[in-house]
Structure formats: structure tokens, C-alpha cells
């Protein structure tokens, strides 16, 4: 839309407009892109200001198509000024110096007053055109929202000054028409006098074709301008909403990758449910979050839901990383076979020792008894 980025609160933005294929003259999307960072502005307040500026640029473009650019207005006004100068000279030479002297009973004051008023309106229109051109050049040299606001206000003031000028031109033309009718109906003037005065009045009417200018250029543009201006608030809100919706969808689609989809689908298979439970992995939250992401992208794609998708996907990725590590550790850990219980032989040993002691003692006693009997 502009050949250079526009400054807004210290940041410079490129205003990129997109048109519909079915309606190439209509811009349905504006994206303010930061010049330095390259991101699409997502602040609703900043979007509103920048998209509002883009909409007003469209209005100026529309006025240009209707031959109401500053160059067009300047050209029309310059032609009209030259014709007014000629009319003023004719008024002095033909009315002041001839008719008023020849027909002293005729009062040309109404024509003179309306011509002077027309001249004043023309001078104001000239001042407005010059101011607007100056602001237009400033905005072109350094595009900024502040410069544009001033330029747009002045352009509107210029447009209004031409509206006032056309009314003054119409008033002046009517004063000539009324005077012409008065002359035509005068009983005091003969045909020759009437013809002479009428020819002078016709020459005084050559100030420019304001009627055609108003009917074919100014009035149609005024209707379009008024309609766009009245709807500008709602139009800006709609475009901001549309832009935010598209930004949210794009960021959600960027966060959602085929790689992540394959990982989730591979991990959350029905065949793994039993294994996950046996590994003490509860994937319920992961399933719910993945369902939310899929629903937000394909079914319930509200801006609110889409804005949650990138953060939700980040959480899913973190959970999946953790679960995959735990799952692999679980299925790759070897299972130790239970060792057979060794019998406790301590009690049997004690019994054997006791028996051995008894046997030794019995053998000793028997030997002792034999020795005594042999001695006797």
C-alpha cells in the first residue's frame, strides 16, 4: 500500500494488503509487519490504529479514482481561478464602466456580492489545497501515523472547502439567472438593451463547470466517503478481528507438526495401554490435550482455542519426552528370576553334635567299666 514503512510509536511497519480473487478491487485483509523484527503485529490496539490508517488510505485511493486527488482538485481550481479573474475583469469593464453608467436604474449589487463571496471561497479552497499538498509531501517523506492523521484531517477539510465552493458557485450562478429573468421581464428595456445586458451576464457566468464537477465527482464521492466514514469503526473492528483470527490460526498451524502427530499417534496406540499402565504411566492428560489440539484446529476453531494451541503443544511435547523416557526404561529393564530358598540346616547340625557327644561319652563310660572289671 505504501512504498515505505510507516512509523507508529517508534516502530516502523509495512502495511500489506491482500485482495480477494473474486473481488480484486476490495482489500479484505491487512497485515502490519514490523520492519525490524519481521513479525505481524498482534496487539489489538496497535492493529486498530494501523488497520484504520490502511482503511483511510483506501478512501484516498477511492477519491483519486473519482478524480478528486489533490492534483485533480488543484487542476480544477487553477482553471476556475483563471476564469474568475477573467469574469472580474469583465465585471469591471462591462458592468462598472458601461452598464451601470448606461442603466443607472439597474442594481447589479447582488451579482457583485455573490461574486465576491465566490472569490473568498475559492481563496480558502486554494489555501486548503496548498496545506494538504504540503502535508502530503511530509507524509511521503516520512510516513508516520501522526503525520498521516494530520494529512487526512486536512484532506477532509480541503474536500469540505470545495463543497463550500460549489455552493458559492451555485449561488453566484443563481444571482445571474435571477438578474437575467428580471431583465427579460423588464418593461422599461427594449430588445436591444435586453440582448446587450444578457450577453454581458452570460460572459459573467463563465467561472467553470461547477455543476458537472459537483454532480459527477464531488457528490458521488461524498456519498461513498460518508458511507465509509460512518462504517469505519465497525469496519476496523471487523478487520482487526479477521487479522487476529488469521494470526492465531497460522501460529497454531505452525506449532502443529507432522513429526509431533506421528509421535503422539505412535505412543497412544491401544496396544500400548496395558504396557503403559504396567509401567505406571498415566497418559490421560496427554490424550485430553491432544484431543483439544485436534478439535481446535479442525472443528471448534475459535480464536480463543487457537491461541491456546501453541502452549498446549509445548506441554504435550514436554509430557511426551518424559513418558517416552520412562516407557523405554521400563520395557528395557531385565527381570531377575527368584532364587530358591536354601534350607536351614543349623538345627540338624546341633542335633548331630549332641548325638556325637552322647556316643563319645557312652563309649568312654563303657571303656572305663571294662578296665575296672579286669582290675578286680
The three cell numbers of residue 158 are 480541503
DSSP 213: H
Cα end-to-end span (Å), the chain: 145
Q: What is the pLDDT of residues 129-171, one digit of tens each?
A: 999 999 999 999 999 999 999 999 999 899 899 999 999 999 9
Q: What is the pLDDT of residues 44-68, one digit of tens each?
A: 899 889 888 888 888 888 888 888 8
What pLDDT score does 56 carry? Answer: 86
**Phi and psi dihedrals of 28, rounded to 5?**
-105, 0
Q: What is the dihedral of CA 358, 361, 363, 364, to 10 degrees?
A: 180
Q: Are 122 and 84 in contact (CB under 8 A)?
A: yes
What pLDDT score does 359 carry? Answer: 63
pTM of the model: 0.70
What does each of the 376 residues of the chain score in pLDDT, given as a tens digit? 677 888 998 889 988 877 666 666 666 677 888 888 888 888 889 988 988 888 888 888 888 888 889 999 999 999 999 999 999 999 999 998 889 899 988 899 999 999 999 999 999 999 999 999 999 999 999 999 999 999 999 998 998 999 999 999 999 999 999 999 999 999 889 999 999 999 999 999 999 999 999 998 888 887 777 777 777 778 888 888 888 898 899 999 999 999 999 999 999 998 888 899 899 999 999 999 999 999 999 988 899 999 999 999 999 999 999 999 999 999 887 655 555 555 555 566 566 666 665 665 555 556 656 655 655 5
What pLDDT score does 353 carry? Answer: 66
What pLDDT score does 350 carry? Answer: 64
The three cell numbers of residue 217 are 465527482
Q: What is the pLDDT of residues 250-265, one digit of tens each?
A: 999 999 999 999 999 9
Q: Which residue has the cell 480464536?
A: 303
Q: What is the DSSP string of 293-361?
A: HHHHHHT---HHHHHHHHHHHHHHHHHHHHHHHHHHHHHHSPPPPPPPPPP--HHHHHHHHHHHHHHHH
Amino acid at each position: 500500500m505504501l512504498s515505505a514503512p510507516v512509523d507508529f510509536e517508534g516502530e516502523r511497519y509495512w502495511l500489506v494488503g491482500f485482495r480477494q480473487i473474486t473481488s480484486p478491487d476490495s482489500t479484505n485483509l491487512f497485515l502490519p509487519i514490523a520492519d525490524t523484527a519481521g513479525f505481524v503485529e498482534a496487539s489489538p490496539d496497535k492493529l486498530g490504529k494501523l488497520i484504520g490508517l490502511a482503511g483511510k488510505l483506501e478512501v484516498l485511493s477511492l477519491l483519486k479514482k473519482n478524480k478528486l486527488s489533490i492534483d485533480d482538485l488543484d487542476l480544477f481550481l487553477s482553471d476556475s481561478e483563471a476564469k474568475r479573474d477573467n469574469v472580474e475583469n469583465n465585471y469591471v469593464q462591462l458592468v462598472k464602466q458601461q452598464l451601470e453608467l448606461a442603466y443607472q436604474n439597474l442594481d447589479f449589487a447582488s451579482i457583485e456580492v455573490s461574486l465576491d463571496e465566490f472569490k473568498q471561497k475559492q481563496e480558502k479552497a486554494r489555501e486548503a489545497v496548498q496545506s494538504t499538498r504540503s502535508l502530503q509531501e511530509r507524509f511521503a517523506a516520512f510516513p508516520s501515523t501522526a503525520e498521516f492523521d494530520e494529512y487526512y484531517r486536512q484532506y477532509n477539510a480541503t474536500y469540505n472547502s470545495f463543497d463550500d465552493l460549489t455552493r458559492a458557485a451555485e449561488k453566484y450562478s443563481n444571482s445571474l439567472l435571477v438578474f437575467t429573468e428580471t431583465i427579460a421581464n423588464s418593461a422599461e428595456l427594449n430588445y436591444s438593451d435586453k440582448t446587450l445586458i444578457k450577453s454581458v451576464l452570460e460572459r459573467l457566468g463563465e467561472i467553470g463547470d461547477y455543476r458537472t464537477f459537483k454532480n459527477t465527482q464531488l457528490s458521488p464521492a461524498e456519498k461513498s466517503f460518508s458511507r465509509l466514514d460512518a462504517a469505519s469503526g465497525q469496519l476496523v473492528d471487523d478487520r482487526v478481528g479477521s487479522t487476529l483470527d488469521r494470526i492465531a490460526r497460522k501460529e497454531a498451524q505452525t506449532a502443529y507438526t507432522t513429526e509431533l502427530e506421528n509421535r503422539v499417534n505412535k505412543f497412544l496406540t491401544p496396544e500400548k495401554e496395558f504396557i503403559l499402565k504396567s509401567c505406571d504411566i498415566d497418559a490421560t492428560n496427554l490424550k485430553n490435550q491432544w484431543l483439544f489440539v485436534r478439535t481446535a484446529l479442525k472443528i471448534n476453531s475459535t480464536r480463543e482455542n487457537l491461541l491456546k494451541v501453541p502452549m498446549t503443544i509445548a506441554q504435550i511435547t514436554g509430557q511426551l519426552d518424559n513418558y517416552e523416557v520412562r516407557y523405554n526404561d521400563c520395557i528395557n529393564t531385565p527381570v531377575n528370576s527368584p532364587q530358591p530358598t536354601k534350607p536351614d540346616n543349623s538345627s540338624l547340625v546341633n542335633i548331630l553334635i549332641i548325638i556325637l557327644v552322647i556316643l563319645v561319652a557312652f563309649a568312654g563310660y563303657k571303656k572305663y567299666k571294662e578296665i575296672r572289671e579286669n582290675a578286680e
